[in-house]
Amino acid sequence: MKELTYREALREALREEMKRDESVFLLGEDIAEYGSSYKVPQGLVDEFGHERVRNTPLAEAGIIGATLGAALVGMRPVAEIMYIDFSPIAMDQIFNQIAKFRYMTGGTVKVPLVIRTQGGGGVSAGLHHSQSLEALYTHMPGLMVVMPSIPYDAKGLLKSSIREDNPVMFIEHKGLYGQSGMIPEEEYLVPLGKAEVKCEGKDITVVAYSKSLVLALQAAETLEKEGISLEVVDPRTLLPLDEDTILDSVKKTSRLMVVHEACKTGGFGGEVAAIVAEKAIDYLDAPIKRVTALDSPIPFNPRLEDYIIPNEGDIIAGARELMGKEVSAR
């Protein structure tokens, strides 16, 4: 085993897949010499050259259009959109072309591409660089949506995404790039569409992903001292969603909390809650609890941002509420 940061794990995944398959190449704004804003592809241009690590204009629709074209002629492009906030500029390309192309051709044409992008707040980047828009992409049949929480999953899921013959939205959290974790020396893959129980418990199922998963695990440690046991489930892939792992956990604990950094209204937590309500409501001993960001743009001011985005304390308060214990208002 070796210790890598989330950023290093992603870079290693790109390097390994580029060495393994010459059809894999990267494109995006300032990803070559500069290494992009968050430095994931840093140094790869020195190994693979500008043919396979391509700088692009600041033009999201153009980047994604080129990505689709390359995939259709047999390449496996990995595009980077600097912030998920800017991905809607390419929404026509993503929703009406990339997500639908394989369907429109009766499955005869593959669309093997990955769109890497960064979401989430917590770094005082302001309201145009801090949004969590994953629910937009889970609403579009034909896409796969991946959101890794730890370095091990970041590497394994990115490698699987690059090998996938369908288009993948691969959403990273800018607040996780410096987090470290242990990773095997040998090659490995993490399957798409498979959740993982990160922490076993008996009282409350907590479904959390991306940075919220890290907060949920911290809350689980704190609450264990109070006698409240959280079972923390990381979906890892939002689309397709591993419903069985979530439902099995809820049947075990009889309580559900969903945690994410996106705002509550229309957030992915509502989908998880609906699935449990449809398929496991008889197992529930309490209403489903959602711990999310407030329905507000993300402020630049650090204190206001901290107030808007859910934190470990909010998860702890939600758990106490589900267990019928006194809680403090947010």
User: What is the set of active-site residues?
Assistant: 129
Sign of CA dihedral 127, 130, 135, 137: positive
Phi, psi of 185 (to 5 degrees): -65, -35
Q: Dihedral of the CA atoms 235, 238, 242, 246 (nearest 10)?
A: 50
Q: Which two tokens stand for residue 24?
A: 């894999």
What stretches of 59-144 show up as alpha helix (H) in DSSP?
Answer: 60-72, 91, 101-104, 134-138
| Beta sheet of 24-28, edge-to-edge order | 53-55, 24-28, 76-81, 114-119, 168-173, 144-146, 237-239
> What is the distance between the alpha carbons of residues 20 and 2, in angstroms, rounded to a whole number?
21
Q: Dihedral of the CA atoms 107, 110, 113, 114 (nearest 10)?
A: 40
Query: What is the β-pairing status of strands 230-234 and 196-199?
Result: antiparallel
